Structure 1
Amino acid sequence: MDLKSIIADSLNQSYSAEEYQNILSTFAEEGKTSGQQNEDLIYYTKLNAQRSKRIGKTAVIDNKLEEKVRALPKQVWLLITETWCGDAANSVPLISKLADLNPQIELRIVLRDDNLDLMDQFLTKGGRSIPKLIALDEDLNVQFDWGPRPKEAQEMYWNWREREDREPYKEFQVTLQKWYNQNKSQAVQDEISELVIVRG
């Protein structure tokens, strides 16, 4: 199957931002998670539901990026994620806010483990890392993709992975979250701003 067919199939089982937020909130309330059910992923889903709401309310969009996004032609932004993904909790609410700036941008969200054919077209160093944002034109041609983390956060992650004496992921995740809190979504905005090209 070619990439456009894979993308079209995924769009057929995608959610709006509001539908996805409802899924996240419902899972958090019911003690569930998307994908495989285990205590850690359920814990992160609950944490992410709170975090997503907070970031959605407090994130401030940079003026330059806002101008660029408002000037974009019709696009679909296809976002791959899972409810337990901590990086997604920090970037999905911002991406949703960006899409809301322009009525010509339709944000659609899919769950990674239900869309592995799509995920496998957008690997990070061979891994199925999420979230992954894929911007598509009207003919489903890829305009750009971004994710799973801002470059600085990704470097932190690779450095942690390569250490033989690394702390458990739960401890590293706290360090990573502190970075996100201090950065206030600026790195995500800067990187998406570089990728967004307004042709006119």
Structure 2
Amino acid sequence: MIQSIAHALFNSHSYPEYRKLVTDLLREGKSTGNEQSEELTNYSNLNETRMNRLDKTMKISDEYSSKLKSLNNEFIWLVISEGWCGDAAQLLPIFDKMSQAAEGKIDLRIVFRDENLELMDHFLTNKGRAIPKLIVINKETSGALAHWGPRPKGATDLILNYKKEHGVLDETIKTELQLWYLHDKGNTIQAEIMDMMQDLDREIVENE
């Protein structure tokens, strides 16, 4: 796993670089990833609009900004994503804002799933390559400390309950999921990630 993380980091992108790569492909009528289809390109276009909106409107609370700045250690957030992924479009702008609020304590790097399948297969969700996946790395040791994803608990529960009732995940639940993100305003994800980061930071300090 250490080798796959090192390889991914070497080929990773900053958030602005990731956004530009996705945008440039859309100008060519393409989506990211190995599979190309009109459906995936349409999803990517929708996500482009969502991310542009979130980049402008998403705010990190003063409480979380203060906690992020107060981290004792430095971390790398390595995110596995693709431009067509609806959850990634909702979450990456928040990861970016949180990393900025940390003022040097967190370095956000992003890689494409289909270009990093070896890494992806170390962080499966129910045996599936679900994205986005956030891997928290100790910057000093380069070791993976934890991972999170592909979505916050409330959104996960929504998907699980719908699948239990209907047996499939269709366009209806995709719309409901996007509405959940819209109403949540990034509050759940900020809380979950902040709790995880404080626990990890505390563990490092205690083990020194």
Q: TM-score, normalised by structure 2?
A: 0.89
Determine if contact 2:87/2:132 at 8 Å carries over to the other structure.
yes
Aligned residue for 1:77? 77
Q: 1:143 aligns with which of 142, 145, 158?
A: 145
What residue is the counterpart of 1:23 in the other structure? 21
Match in the other structure for 1:56: 55
Task: Give 1:90's aligned residue.
Answer: 90
What is the aligned length?
A: 197
- The answer for the alignment partner of 1:177 in structure 2 is 178
Q: Secondary structure of the equivalent of 1:127?
A: coil
Deviation (angstroms), 1:28: 2.6
How far apart, in 1, do the equivalents of 2:144 and 2:6 lie? 12
Q: Following TM superposition, by how much is the alpha carbon of 1:171 offset from its aligned partner in structure 2, in angstroms?
A: 2.2
Task: State the percentage of identical aligned residues.
Answer: 39
- After superposition, the CA RMSD in angstroms is 1.5
Structure 1 contact 31–46 (Cα < 8 Å) conserved: no
CA offsets, 1:23-73, max 9 Å, x none? 122223322101110111100101111101111111111222212211232
Q: Does 1:104 align with 2:102?
A: no
| Structure 2 counterpart of 1:153, one-letter code | A
Structure 1: tracts of 5 or more residues without a match: none
Q: Deviations over 1:173-200 (max 9, x none)?
A: 1111011101101111111011012445
SS of residue paired to 1:135: strand
Give the 3 Å change call, closer, same or farther, for CA 103–165 of structure 1 in structure 2. closer
- Where do 4+ consecutive residues of structure 1 move more than 4 Å? none
* Maintained 8 Å contact 1:144/1:196: no
Moved more, 61-70 or 145-154: 61-70
Which runs of 5 or more residues in structure 2 are unaligned?
Answer: none
Worse-matched range after superposition: 121-130 or 62-71: 62-71
Shift in Å, 1:125 = 1.3
